Amino acid sequence: MGRLAFAGVTALGAVLGGHRGAAARQGAEACRFVGVTGGGVVRTPAGDATLVLFASRFVDGGGIPAEGKVRWLDPAFEGGMSLESSGPVIYETVADDERSREVRGIATVNGEFVAPFVLVVTDNSGEEAAALTPDRCRIQVGTLIDNPAAAATEGWGYAGEGDLVGGDLLLLTDT
């Protein structure tokens, strides 16, 4: 477990770039973080999409923002759609659901324009989960975000939701 935590801290430090020096000065013991990682094939009502996800934040961040990357590919949507986060993300737990996490940010769509997104993922593995319950995710982009404070007021929208039928989500807890 110690090697995994050290490797995670090293990788996270590389992602944080300019913040890496401050984290390194705090020492490996002080660099505790939480997050979610994983991905796979998501079975949506319109067809299969692909999710790739990593998001984390320091437990005692001291102002250091969350880091992460989200990639969502939906070949069935309007001839094919790719979405990739482009900038900082916000990573939070979901109230009243200890297995769900929310990642928000700005994404580049098809390499052409940017739009806000909200991704909610649920890791249904573990002893508390019902037997054979698949992991789940829901992504809302642009005008289709159901939270008015986060939604775009005009332009383009996309929503996808479904079970992970191939792959896995893993919650990173105080590593």
pLDDT digits 0-9 by tens, 54-98: 999 888 766 677 889 999 999 999 999 999 999 889 898 899 998
Rounded Cα distance, 44 and 86, in Å: 24
Pull the structure tokens for residue 163: 């079970």
Check whether 5 has a pLDDT greater than 60.
no
Burial of 72 (0-12, 13-18, 19+ CB in 10 A): buried
Contacts of 29 (CB under 8 A, 6+ apart): none
Identify the residue whose tokens are 């020096």.
21
Rounded Cα distance, 19 and 12, in Å: 10
Q: pTM of the prediction?
A: 0.79
Rounded Cα distance, 165 and 42, in Å: 6
19: helix, coil or strand? helix
Q: What is the mean pLDDT of residues 121-135?
A: 77
DSSP character at residue 60? T
CB-CB neighbours of 103 under 10 Å:
26
